A and B are shown apart, each in its own frame.
Chain A
Amino acid sequence: MTASKGLLFQEADWDFHILQRIHDACDEIGCGELGLDVYPNQIEVITAEQMLDAYSSVGMPLFYKHWSFGKHFAFHEASYRKGLMGLAYEIVINSSPCISYLMEENTATMQALVIAHAAFGHNHFFKNNYLFKQWTDADGILDYLEFAKRYVAQCEERHGSLAVEHTLDAAHALMSHGIDRYPGKKNIDLRAEEKRAGLRRMHEEAAFNDLWRTVPTGPAKSSATLSVERRRKLLGLPQENILYFLEKSAPRLAPWQRELLRIVRHIAQYFYPQSQTKVMNEGTATYVHYRIMNRLHQQERITDGNFLEFLRSHTNVVFQPEFDDQRYSGFNPYALGFAMMQDIERIVASPDEEDREWFPDIAGRNDVMGVLRDIWANYRDESFISQFLSPRLMRHFRMFHLHDDPEERAGIRVDAIHNERGYRRVRRELSRQYDVGFIDANIEVVDVDLAGDRRLMLRHSVVNGAQLNEADAKRVLQHLADLWSYDVSLVEEDATGKVLKDYVLSPRLVPAAA
């Protein structure tokens, strides 16, 4: 290796030339030595205010207009001004080219850290993890967002911003239930999506002929002839993707409303992998920046002082407060992820007896990066933790498992702790905390009463007695009813089929939509 090429920078100041040098140096180490495989990088320098902007539109560079983003902006801004919250040093977008935003206020060391973290760590993860491969379309996302923005603006022009706002409000409320959880349908191609949307609209416009509206449609087939089974099959029931169902089957939605639902659904789907891989994604990025920065220091391309500055921020990022600490708010994905990556490195490179027993597949394999790259590509948080959380780490974090049963008067039971008897249980429980299938309420559209009042019927399968928050559920169902245009009912059933709660909501008068 050509080791000494001189310092990348000396003082805290940076310029574009230095950024380029930093990037190239990181590239050499990241792709050259660690074997990372990344999308081309695009680095954008922005101000703190722009960072706030980006925050409030879920980190996206361009997004359609909606008041809730204004609300988030106001919220972030207020807490930022009060100093309650620091800004993230970077935001990175899963796109190709992979866009990383750097704040201009950062020092040169921080820029190096951020480039190593985002432009290489996250970038590699985005490109290689199976969930992202399966669910997101990095090439198409920016164009698609552009399209979404334009489309929403057009709708506002044509149909009034109020009507658009109502539809988007409703769609946002159902966003978490607008996701296909199981692959198998098809890979998303957002570019084609966008093209199709345009074609659809053009076709509608071209084919519109007022006369056709007057043609009698003939006697409808009596619905009794369709068997229940067949009907449900036609509607694709049961369906857990509520937005998809509405888009396809809601009887009275205007075409543009369907398109809006579709947009919200696509965006929800785009973010779906991110929510399942927080620990891994941050762990990977943190591990990568740690390796790169150490190597840069080793090569004498950054000074000791800069290295200390780096270590300080790094330590802050991977700090894990304990449960009885004021600052505790769950596991810090950076801390847990980074600790696990380092632990795996240790297991692969220099395992002890315990590791050999727990991780026979990787212990002592000696190819650290090979093993890590493989893990990064093929796991998500839940499976990652359930496979690779080692007893040593559980001891290190002093993890313990609590079981809180409201029926139990005496209090909360400590179910397992970090000891021989507890390792597997603690690990299983922690991995369950990251299982999206387990976190989100399991709600399905089960049937539509086509013969009767066209009521849409949903079912929530209650697990462990956790029911829906009533006030919120009513509001969301109200939105749902507005979209569906007929009554909507939701029953909450426990595993035995016992009905715990029953909601029925009727649509409000449609405010000049359609």
Chain B
Amino acid sequence: MHIVDRRLNPGSKSLENRQRFLRRAKALVQGAVKKSSQDRDIKDVLEGGEVSIPLDGMHEPRLRREGGTRDMVLPGNKKFVEGDMLPRSSQGGGGKPTDPGEGDGEDAFRFVLSRDEFVNLFLDDLELPDLAKRRLTEAESEGLHRAGYSVSGSPANISISRTVSRALARRVALRRPRPETIAQLEAELAECDDRERRAELIAEIEALKAKAKRIPFIDPIDIRYRRFEPVPKPMAQAVMFCLMDVSGSMSEHMKDLAKRFYMLLYVFLKRRYRHVEIVFIRHTDRAEEVDEQTFFYGPASGGTLVSSALQAMTEIVRARFRPSDWNIYAAQASDGDNLTSDSELTGRILTQSILPICQFFAYLEVGEAGGYSFEMPNSSLWTLYERLRADGAPLSMRKVSDRSEIFPVFHELFQRRAKQEKVAP
């Protein structure tokens, strides 16, 4: 008999098969990812996780029979006698149809995607160009962290104290004779006259010396090196403000567009920063900070005062996010309706307190489904922002009315940015 330990063999032999499967099911999985990212929270986009895909497209057909007369033998008869007729519909009747695994129950199955797989498919769907990806990876800088000790390394990294203490422990454990002991014996030998005793001492000294030689003072196995591990250096933290007008004129479609934009922004920031906070501010004629659920799904209605949201944002920044410690991003989504009387105030808050502290401020004007963004008439907010921009305020603004436009718009907005600078108009 033979026992083989295969546990150390690389597992996931199926990895390649899995990748092949994913490649083949790409369209399906992508659809599922799209769908699932719709009803998940922004932060969960990066979590990966389960998606369910229809098995139909991945079905492996076989020639199999169905229908016709069937005979079956079942266990567990309690009351039937020969000749009984069992109505088909009733529960206790013929038991379950006996075609287990014949495809009927298999119309969809849940599929667990890893984080990376998920994000890749998510971004892939949006066709994140390589250009942007490269820039993102460059932004990540690496630092070295101490990470304990290792048995191999470069001589420069030898940890002397650790090595010596290990050597000491080894010497003690193996009872290496101490030099003092030998010295003492030698001294005794020098003074000793008795021949027998001398021979004894000499033998003992020889033995000790030989032993000392066998057990070196420092053995290669004692040597320890300081180990360093590259760690992504935390690039500081970022906060992302999601501002949204939720007055009655914002339709589900518009919110969906906004949500997608926020998601992208989040994924983008998440790859750049270690720690990203999200603040959701919704406003009608007054603004409030809410959680994500309420933000996207809570009903609200009333007039529209954009300035209220901006005001709320400056207050939150003042209270919780010191601009010197935080990189602040804001994205505002709105259908563009605002009270004319509010323009003045809005413009002032923006230029005076918000834009100076923001890394990036994007305004996204969302339109109804089926419309064309370039056909959207300039709204009051758009006109206002346009004017500010003309005056040199670092604002990015785009109109979007279809899901497919989100990524190009996003890309455009970010493409313009020079490295760490503020957004150029």
* Interface of A toward B, CB cutoff 8 Å: 16, 19-20, 23-24, 27, 40-47, 49-50, 52-53, 56-57, 65-71, 73-75, 77-78, 81-82, 97, 101, 104, 119, 165, 169, 172-177, 320-325, 328-331, 397-407, 410-419, 421-422, 426, 429-430, 432-433, 441, 443, 462-469, 471-473, 475-476, 479
Contact = CB atoms under 8 A, between A and B. Distances in A.
Contact of B67 (A67, A82, A320, A406): A406
Given A176-B62, A399-B77, A416-B82, A49 B68 contact: no
Given A45-B5, A53-B12, A401-B71, A414 B80 contact: yes
B76 interface: yes
B13 A53 contact: yes
Contact of B2 (A42, A57, A426): A42
Given A46-B9, A329-B100, 16 more contacts: A49-B11, A67-B24, A68-B21, A70-B21, A74-B109, A78-B112, A97-B2, A169-B60, A322-B75, A397-B75, A401-B72, A403-B71, A411-B88, A417-B81, A468-B65, A471-B61
B6 A45 contact: yes
B62 A426 contact: no
A45 B3 contact: yes
Q: How large is the interface on B (under 10, 10 to 19, 20 to 34, 35 or more residues)?
A: 35 or more
A421 B78 CA distance: 17
B135 interface: no
B69 A403 contact: yes
A469 B66 contact: yes
Contact of A466 (B17, B68, B91): B68
18 contacts: A16-B3, A20-B3, A43-B4, A52-B14, A53-B13, A75-B109, A78-B109, A176-B63, A323-B96, A401-B72, A401-B73, A404-B71, A406-B67, A410-B87, A411-B93, A441-B64, A469-B103, A475-B59
B348 interface: no
Given A45-B3, A56-B14, A104-B7, A414 B65 contact: no
B112 A432 contact: no
A241 to B, nearest CB: 13
**What are the nearest 8 A-B pairs in CB distance?**
A322-B76, A70-B21, A466-B68, A465-B68, A70-B17, A475-B61, A323-B95, A323-B74
A73 B95 contact: no
Interface in B1-36: 1-7, 9, 11-14, 16-25
B58 interface: yes
A472 B59 CA distance: 9
Contacts of B58: 71
Contacts of B19: 70
Greatest chain A CB density within 10 A among B24, B68, B72 is at: B72
B4 A323 contact: no
B63 A472 contact: yes
Given A73-B17, A320-B75, A324-B76, A465 B67 contact: yes
B62 A476 contact: yes
A285 B12 CA distance: 29
Contacts of A75: 109
B217 interface: no
Given A45-B6, A66-B20, A74-B111, A421 B82 contact: yes
A45 B7 contact: yes
A49 B75 contact: no
Contacts of A47: 7, 11
Contacts, number: 258
A469 B69 CA distance: 15
B64 A67 contact: no
Contact of B85 (A71, A175, A410): A410
B85 to A, nearest CB: 5
B14 A70 contact: yes
A41 B1 contact: yes
B82 A476 contact: no
Nearest to A475: B61
B157 interface: no
Given A325-B76, A429-B71, A469 B64 contact: yes
A81 B109 CA distance: 13
A77 B86 contact: no
B50 interface: yes
Contacts of B2: 40-43, 97
B19 to A, nearest CB: 7
B71 A402 contact: yes
Contacts of B11: 47, 49-50, 53
B82 A415 contact: yes
B69 A412 contact: no
Nearest to B111: A74
B83 interface: yes
Contact of A472 (B20, B23, B64, B69): B64
B110 interface: yes
A398 B77 contact: yes
B70 interface: yes
B370 interface: no
Nearest to A326: B96
B16 A65 contact: yes
A467 B65 contact: yes
A71 B21 contact: yes
